[in-house]
Amino acid sequence: VRILYITILLLVTVLLYIALLLYVIILLYATILLYVAILLYITTIVISYLQYCYTLQYCYSLQYCYVTILLNATILYIVIAIFLYIYIYIYIYKTTLLYIAILLLQYY
- pLDDT for the residue numbered 8: 81
- The parent domain of residue 39 ranges over 2-107
pLDDT in tens, the chain (108 residues): 778 888 888 888 888 888 778 777 777 777 777 777 777 777 777 777 777 666 655 556 666 667 776 777 777 777 777 777 777 777 777 777 777 777 777 776
When computed from its CA atoms, the radius of gyration of the chain, rounded to whole angstroms, is 24
* pTM of model > 0.85: no
Number of folded domains that form the chain: 1
Amino acid at 24: V
